[in-house]
Amino acid sequence: MKALNARPLLITVVLWFSQRPADADIVTHAKTSSHGDTAYTFDPGAYKGDLKSLPIGIFDSGIGGLTVMEAILGLDTFNNENLRPGPDGKPDFVDESFIYFGDQANMPYGNYSSVGRTDYLRELILKDAIFLLGSRWFDPKSQTFRNDKPPVKAIVIACNTATAYGIEDIRDALKKWNLPIIVIGVVEAGARGVQEIHQAGAVGVLATVGTCASGAYPRVIGRTLGLAGRTIPAITQQGSSSLAGVIEGDPAFPATLSEQCQADVSALVESHRQSGAKTALSTVVLGCTHFPLVQNEIEAALNQLRQQDRNESIVAEKIQFVNPAEWTARELFKALALARLRAPHAPSLARSQFFLSVPSPLRKDLPLSPDGGLKKEYKYSRAPRRLDEEDTVNIPLSPARIPESAKSLIETKLPLVWARIQAAP
């Protein structure tokens, strides 16, 4: 049950936010509007009875969370029959179906805190969870809303920023709604990955600006290693405000993947130098779900920097990477097994649906950029509690709606996910 419990250290990271009233209206709105046919609501009646056959919900601020889904689909760490550790040649989630949601219209989440919009970010995170719990989605063909999406039995927060700022909000809301839903976040899982992988040297965390501002990774890594009786290493963070957008193919971020990775890695190394740490970076946490897609570019940038004389004592010769997605998959399996919510042996259930958010075509007053997205000035100026102003809608994600640069990365590096996207209804 550990995977389901709030960890005291993470509470210290997000408690200040959770005590603020920004999410009160949306939690009450979702609870009192119980039919699920209006924005930001769900039908609690859908959670009566056996939940085993319901899909698993995964959400992220964009397509980066697909790396988490790939890790889940490819996991073979447990025996499917006796649930004991050890591979059995059969994917651990072979019988499960999934619903993936990428809040692409509102990404990057990591930039909201830097412009003083943390309250609105927390509301966005709750909206993501409510969408997965509910049935409502927008059909772009008919330009109408439909209410036939299945609810979910578990929520995976496949976004480091959303985990840092919103996991306790979601857990608290589920208690108020009296829903027995499993919630797994990537930050806690990533910290356990550091515990398993890190041996010596310093730890670097490459994440979004928002994730770094929360302080979640240094504190949760410190607590996790401390409880295990391990020495807590020097930890250096570096927040990127652009890399996730570059990976998504957002034209607002014109740098190439190689250029942006080089810039962010250089900043990480320089931050570690300026920290005065006496040990070289030997472990790097990919603290944004987008970043595993460009791990090769990040590793190449680190190797290039290490070869410079002034960096030999700053960057270790061998770098180990922690991809929190892999550890999130393990935590999810354990939690489902403990709650006896694993799907029955029914391969026909192993279908997935994918959704992403776009600016609402029903709103003609929205300020749009040339590529059709919300203008940055508008996106980062919004305030919470305006639940009657639905400026984005959630539509099915199809290969045609994925930017070419991102599509190429998914095809080559996330083959299990790509196959499901192509097979999705």
pLDDT at 22: 40
Across the chain, mean pLDDT equals 89
Give me the amino acid identity at 157: I
Query: 62: pLDDT confidence band, cut at 50, 70 and 90?
Result: confident
Task: Residue 257: name the closest of 302, 315, 298, 289 by CA.
Answer: 298
State the average pLDDT over residues 298-305. 94
| pLDDT for position 350 | 56
pLDDT exceeds cutoff 50 at 8: no
Q: Please report where in the chains the tokens 């689909």 appear, as a residue.
A: 73
**Helices 160-177 and 8-18, interaxial angle, to 10°?**
80
pLDDT of residue 252: 81
Rounded CA gap, 289 and 293, in Å?
8
Specify burial of residue 370 (Cβ count, 10 A radius: 0-12, 13-18, 19+): exposed
The larger pLDDT score, comparing residue 107 to residue 59, is at: 59
CB 157 within 8 A of CB 59: yes
Could you give the percent of the chain with pLDDT greater than 90?
Answer: 71
Cα 53 from Cα 156, distance rounded (Å): 17
Token pair, residue 231, equals 């020495």
In order of their start, the domains of the chain are 24-187+326-423 (3.40.50.1860), 189-324 (3.40.50.1860)
Q: pLDDT at residue 133 above 90?
A: yes
Asked if 118 contacts 103 with a C-beta cutoff of 8 angstroms, the reply is no
pTM for the complete prediction? 0.84
Q: Predicted confidence band at 41 (pLDDT cuts at 50, 70, 90)?
A: very high
Q: Is residue 46 within a helix (H) or strand (E), and if so which, with residue range? A: none
Residue 12 has pLDDT above 70, yes or no: no
Give the model confidence (pLDDT) of 170-225 as tens digits. 999 999 999 999 999 999 999 999 999 999 999 999 998 888 999 999 999 999 99
**Distance between CA atoms of residues 329 and 315, nearest Å:** 29
Q: For helices 24-32 and 118-133, what crossing angle results, to 10°?
A: 20
Under 8 Å between Cβ of 353 and 90: no
In this prediction, residues 250-277 reach a mean pLDDT of 92
∠ CA(339), CA(129), CA(247), 5° rounding? 110
| Beta-bridge mates of residue 204 | 236, 284
Q: Three-class SS string for 188-218?
A: HHHHHHHHHHCCCCEEEEEEEHHHHHHCHHH
64 compared with 99, residue with greater pLDDT: 99
